[in-house]
Chains A and B, each alone.
Chain A
Amino acid sequence: MRPEGEAPDFWTPLRTATRSRIGLGRAGDALPTAQVLALRSAHAVARDAVHLPWGADAIERGLRDLGLEVLRVASQAPDRATYLRRPDLGRRPADLSAVPEAGGAGPDVGIVLADGLSAKAHDDHAVPMVAALLDRFRRAELRVAPVVLAEQARVGIGDHIGERLGVRTLIVLVGERPGLSVADSLGAYLTHEPRAGRRDSERNCVSNIHPPDGLGYDRAADVLLGLVRGARELGASGVALKDRSPAGGEIGP
């Protein structure tokens, strides 16, 4: 049974204007079988993106192939169920001993991959997104810290990691909460001088990175490089930087 095997009808041209599930038909008062199963499948894919572990080993290999040093950190959330219930634990590292402490000024830029709410986002996009960033940072002669893979982790964990690495600017790539139509969207959060206690208003966000439908790697990396430069110049990230940046701090759908 296929969800979209129907002949063109009144709704077909309207579907070009919205992804909404319009004109689904009826089985009595209920949805037709194919539509019920289509919705259930989309929900299943989204749930799997939330609950299945990410392919951290494959991502680490991909990053090493780019010539990057890779470190691993876990948050204080011991498992997925706790992680979902306790966002505060996902923002704090369990142990940072794997991360070298910078004596004096550290590298210019740090990159943390936090699994967030979508493993699939990282499995699909983490390595090529980091590659696009690395390409721009190298050309801009910015020194890049070892990349840190943080598990059961939210954006805030980057503040602790970035502070220890001593980086000037930190980019956290995080798996965004899956929707029914997109389960593999990556978000990038930029924080100037990361340290514990930074507020969300002190970050800039580039969301919806999931080519081919969402934002592409090159465009996202260009915007992020612009934000890195802007933050270094301004000495701050967040609302103040967003107001100055022609690219905007946020690129939505």
Chain B
Amino acid sequence: MSRYRQQIAGRTYAFDHLVDVLAKASPRRSGDELAGCAAETDAERAAAQWVLADVPLVDLLENPVVAYESDEVTRLIVDSHDAAAFAPVAHLTVGGLRDHLLETAATSGSSAALAALSPGLTPEMVAAVSKVMRNADLISVARARTVRSAFRSTIGEPGRLATRLQPNHPTDDPRGVAAATLDGLLLGCGDAVIGINPATDSARAAGDLLHLLDEVRTRYDIPTQSCVLAHVTTTIELMEAGAPVDLVFQSIAGTEAANRGFGVDLAVLAEAHAAVGELDRGTVGTNAMYFETGQGSCLSADAHLGVDGRPVDQQTLECRAYAVARAFDPLLVNTVVGFIGPEYLYDGKQIIRAGLEDHACGTLLGLPMGVDVCYTNHAEADADDMDTLLTLLAAGGVGFVITVPGADDVMLGYQSLSFHDVLAVRHTLGLRPAPEFEAWLERVGLLAGDGRIASVDAGSSALRQLAAR
């Protein structure tokens, strides 16, 4: 006899396990279909959402989706759970939590109330509640919760939208990187981080790029941080060698096995966190970790199975990655939402939904969330879908987004946002750059009187020498 049953239009739908309920209640996406855990019909999905809405939150706490004994991410979630913070909602069901969050979001002082709740929420609770939320609910709840983080600039203030300037180059050519960096700065981008994905993972190449970015930053006294997104072990090596490391980057996922696939575990992340803390290079804050995540990363590493070998849905696993991130007080966390391809998120609708889920769920768990609003050429998505997602995320108060010249990342071969896209959405919604960076833009003559980014001639700008090398 199945434990979970629900009738829809005269037909009874049964679910064996909480893991199945979570998966089948998830809004439709190709990755769950690939994993074989998605609802087979819309009615089955609706039935699973009814069932999930009635599940007590304590059931999610007491029944981990991945076994405690075999997974250190589960152990982190369970062992760090704050029972006192959980107490005010401990009597609620998943559906009750949705109503509670939306009621809280509609009151003044919502951010403090949601912040107090964060340590009491587990990734599974947050994933579950998102599955019974509409897109508008996700936006309301995310907007209601302010998460600030800081290093040389402050991310997450209400009314601000920061950007990662991503000047990638297929061969890490210093002139090419500098040219793209200049282009972004002139368009008011780079306040969250100037961050490069290196073409190779050699420590030497990463070190060269770090020195290049550090030289640009110090020469123009830019209140931002730089990052070369090498593997965490490479960055540890670079810190030991005295390289100018501001932030430690790592891709992470929601199971111990998937993290092992990335070549990391909690111990090595803790080692890096301690090492970068000792460098103490921040001026307005001490958050120095940068994590990227994305739905589907566990499945692509064949590390998505939970208790009894049941496949766990990709959105629940994504939320578990946020538990890893929040253990290390990050400056920046972003989901690379449309990068993974159509076998995980098939089209614009699925990418938009996933982007809103990731932003809201990460924010509820207390993370300084950003999103790489992006797509690949084999997904059923285009720049119009990215406009939609960016506008919705900005309405929800997203901390930062990724930007590349002309939306075209010539190294990674996918499309993210252009610098221009951010100018436009900042103006549409009245958003401004990070405060320290905005003051710098004014000092170097890039801020117009009305607070917009001035249209300046690159050749006569204060930064024109940046790309001369």
Contacts and interface: CB of A to CB of B under 8 A. Distances in A.
Contact of A181 (B33, B179, B410): B410
B459 A179 contact: no
Contacts of A124: none
B330 to A, nearest CB: 28
A177 B420 contact: no
B313 to A, nearest CB: 16
Contacts of A11: 179, 183, 458
B383 A21 contact: no
Interface stretch (B168-176, B211-219, B257-265, B438-446): B168-176
B95 interface: no
B169 A43 contact: no
B415 A22 contact: no
Given A21-B405, A29-B427, A85-B346, A178 B176 contact: no
A19 B343 CA distance: 29
A183 B376 CA distance: 12
B382 interface: yes
Contact of A26 (B30, B420, B464): B420
A56 to B, nearest CB: 20
Nearest to A15: B179
Nearest to A40: B383
Contact of A177 (B34, B179, B180, B413): B413
A78 B139 CA distance: 38
Contact of B406 (A24, A46, A87, A252): A24
B308 interface: no
Residue in A87, A88, A179 whose Cβ sees the most chain B Cβ within 10 Å: A179
Nearest to A178: B377
A11 B423 CA distance: 21
A28 B452 CA distance: 10
A40 to B, nearest CB: 7
B179 A17 contact: yes
Contacts of A88: 34
Given A22-B179, A177-B413, A253 B343 contact: no
Contact of B342 (A84, A180, A181): A84
B38 to A, nearest CB: 11
A117 interface: yes
B407 interface: yes
A160 B177 CA distance: 43
Contacts of A30: 420, 423-424
Nearest to B169: A18
Given A29-B420, A29-B427, A85-B346, A180 B408 contact: yes
Interface string A18-47: 111111101011110001000110110011
B467 interface: yes
A23 B458 contact: yes
A14 interface: yes
Contacts of B297: none
Interface residues of B, number: 48
A144 interface: no
Nearest to B375: A43
A157 B464 CA distance: 52
B405 A22 contact: yes
A84 B343 contact: yes
Interface in B354-412: 376-378, 382-383, 404-408, 410
Nearest to B457: A10
Given A43-B383, A88-B34, A31 B406 contact: yes
Contact of B169 (A9, A10, A20, A84): A20
Given A40-B383, A50-B378, A84-B378, A20 B34 contact: no
Contacts of B108: none
B342 A85 contact: yes
B146 interface: no
A143 interface: no
B314 interface: no
Given A29-B427, A88-B34, A17 B408 contact: no
B343 A87 contact: yes
A177 B167 contact: no
A244 interface: no
A64 interface: no
Interface in B163-206: 167-171, 173, 175-177, 179-180, 182-183, 199
Contact of B455 (A26, A31, A87, A252): A26
Contacts of A177: 376-378, 413
A215 B343 CA distance: 29
Given A23-B183, A43-B383, A85-B33, A9 B176 contact: no
A86 interface: yes
A71 B436 CA distance: 65
Given A29-B424, A39-B407, A85-B343, A14 B467 contact: yes
A213 B289 CA distance: 39
A24 B177 CA distance: 16
B324 to A, nearest CB: 25
A20 B406 contact: yes
Contacts of B410: 18-20, 179-181
B183 A22 contact: yes
Contacts of B427: 29
B418 interface: yes
Residue picked from A20, A28, A39, most chain B C-beta under 10 Å: A20
A35 B378 contact: no
A20 B405 contact: yes
A181 B427 CA distance: 30
A205 to B, nearest CB: 15
Nearest to A181: B410
Interface of A: 9-11, 14-15, 17-24, 26, 28-31, 35, 39-40, 42-43, 46-47, 49-50, 84-88, 117, 177-181, 183, 252-253
8 nearest interchain CB pairs? A21-B406, A18-B176, A17-B175, A29-B423, A10-B459, A46-B377, A14-B179, A179-B413
13 contacts: A9-B458, A10-B457, A11-B183, A19-B410, A30-B423, A31-B406, A39-B383, A84-B378, A88-B34, A117-B378, A178-B378, A181-B408, A183-B377
